[in-house]
C-alpha cells in the first residue's frame, strides 16, 4: 500500500508541475501579446499619416530645458523662468522691440508605458490680433542629440518670433505634430506670452493651458499626426 501510495503521490506532483508549466507559458504569452499591443499603433487624433505643409521659414527655439516629472506644473515653470532671465541677460536681447514676441512652450509627456518618442516633433501657434489672424512659422521641438520627450518629463522651449505691427495679440490655438511610427503620449501642452518690462514694451499676458492626454502616432515613417488644442487661448498682450 505504501508503494502504491508513493506512486500516486509522485504522479500527482508530476501533473501539478505540468499544469504549472503550462500556466506559466500562457502567462508569458499573454504578457508578450500585451506588450506588443502597447507598442503598436496608438493614435487617437484621427489625423494620422497626414502631410505637413511647411514654408521655407521655420523657427528654432533659443532656449531649451528639461525637468523631472516629479516637479509640479508651477515649480517647473518657475525653474524655467529663472533660466529665461539668465538667458536674456547673457544674450543682451532686451531690445524692447515691438516687432518680436517671446513664446514659452511647455510640454509634459505622460507616464504610461511607451509614452516617450524619438520621432520628429514640430509645433505651431495661431494668434488673433487687431489686424486679424496671424500664424507663426512651424518650429522644430525635438533634437536628435538629446533625450527629449521622455516618460513623465517636462520639456520647456523659448521661442522668439516676429509679428506684424499690432496693438494687441491673443494666443488662439496651438498645434503639435509628430512624424513617424514612434508613438507619443502628450499629457500637457501649454503656451505662454506675458509682459516683462525687462524684455518688451508689452503689458498683460495670453496663455493656453491644455491637458490633451492624447496619443499621436502613424503607420508610416513619413506620415505626420496632428493635435490641435482648439480655440482655448485666453488673455491679451497689449503693445
CATH of the domain at 96: 2.60.60.20
Q: Based on the fold, state whether residues 114 and 226 are members of the same structural domain.
A: yes
| Res 88: pLDDT | 85
Q: Based on the fold, state whether residues 26 and 92 are members of the same structural domain.
A: no
**Whole-angstrom distance, CA of residue 10 vs CA of residue 13:** 5
Is 232 part of a structural domain of the chain?
A: yes
**Whole-angstrom distance, CA of residue 107 vs CA of residue 93:** 25
Q: Based on the fold, state whether residues 72 and 26 are members of the same structural domain.
A: no
Is 96 part of a structural domain of the chain?
A: yes
Q: Based on the fold, state whether residues 94 and 3 are members of the same structural domain.
A: no
| Res 116: pLDDT | 97
**Whole-angstrom distance, CA of residue 121 vs CA of residue 149:** 9
Exposed, middle or buried, 81 (CB in 10 Å: 0-12/13-18/19+)?
middle
**Whole-angstrom distance, CA of residue 201 vs CA of residue 229:** 28
Exposed, middle or buried, 233 (CB in 10 Å: 0-12/13-18/19+)?
buried
**Whole-angstrom distance, CA of residue 134 vs CA of residue 146:** 31
**Whole-angstrom distance, CA of residue 140 vs CA of residue 171:** 19
Which residue range forms the structural domain that includes residue 152? 63-238
Q: Based on the fold, state whether residues 166 and 232 are members of the same structural domain.
A: yes
Is 140 part of a structural domain of the chain?
A: yes
**Whole-angstrom distance, CA of residue 41 vs CA of residue 72:** 30
Q: Based on the fold, state whether residues 67 and 29 are members of the same structural domain.
A: no
Is 57 part of a structural domain of the chain?
A: no
| Res 164: pLDDT | 82
Is 42 part of a structural domain of the chain?
A: no
Is 115 part of a structural domain of the chain?
A: yes
Q: Based on the fold, state whether residues 119 and 205 are members of the same structural domain.
A: yes
Q: What is the number of structural domains in the chain? A: 2
Q: Based on the fold, state whether residues 80 and 13 are members of the same structural domain.
A: no
Q: Based on the fold, state whether residues 122 and 225 are members of the same structural domain.
A: yes
Average pLDDT per 10 consecutive residues for the chain, totaling 239 residues: 48 48 46 48 94 85 95 95 89 60 95 96 96 93 95 96 88 98 97 73 91 97 98 94
| Res 7: pLDDT | 47
Q: Based on the fold, state whether residues 160 and 234 are members of the same structural domain.
A: yes
Q: Based on the fold, state whether residues 86 and 2 are members of the same structural domain.
A: no
Is 46 part of a structural domain of the chain?
A: no
Is 131 part of a structural domain of the chain?
A: yes
Q: Based on the fold, state whether residues 122 and 184 are members of the same structural domain.
A: yes
Amino acid at each position: 500500500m505504501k508503494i502504491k501510495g508513493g506512486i500516486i503521490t509522485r504522479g500527482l506532483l508530476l501533473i501539478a508541475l505540468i499544469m504549472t508549466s503550462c500556466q506559466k507559458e500562457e502567462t508569458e504569452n499573454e504578457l508578450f501579446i500585451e506588450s506588443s499591443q502597447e507598442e503598436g499603433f496608438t493614435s487617437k487624433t484621427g489625423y494620422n499619416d497626414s502631410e505637413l505643409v511647411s514654408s521655407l521659414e521655420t523657427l528654432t527655439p533659443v532656449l531649451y530645458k528639461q525637468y523631472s516629472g516629479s516637479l509640479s506644473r508651477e515649480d517647473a515653470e518657475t525653474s524655467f523662468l529663472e533660466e529665461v532671465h539668465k538667458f536674456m541677460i547673457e544674450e543682451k536681447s532686451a531690445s524692447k522691440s515691438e516687432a518680436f514676441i517671446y513664446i514659452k512652450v511647455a510640454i509634459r509627456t505622460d507616464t504610461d508605458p511607451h509614452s516617450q518618442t524619438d520621432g520628429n516633433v514640430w509645433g505651431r501657434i495661431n494668434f488673433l490680433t487687431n489686424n486679424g489672424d496671424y500664424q507663426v512659422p512651424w518650429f522644430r521641438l525635438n533634437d536628435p542629440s538629446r533625450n527629449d520627450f521622455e516618460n513623465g518629463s517636462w520639456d520647456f522651449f523659448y521661442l522668439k518670433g516676429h509679428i506684424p505691427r499690432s496693438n494687441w495679440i491673443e494666443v488662439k490655438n496651438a498645434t503639435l505634430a509628430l512624424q513617424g511610427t514612434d508613438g507619443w503620449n502628450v499629457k500637457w501642452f501649454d503656451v505662454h506670452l506675458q509682459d516683462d518690462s525687462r524684455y518688451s514694451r508689452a503689458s498683460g499676458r495670453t496663455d493656453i493651458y491644455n491637458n490633451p492626454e492624447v496619443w499621436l502616432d502613424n503607420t508610416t515613417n513619413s506620415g505626420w499626426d496632428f493635435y490641435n488644442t482648439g480655440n482655448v487661448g485666453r488673455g491679451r498682450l497689449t503693445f
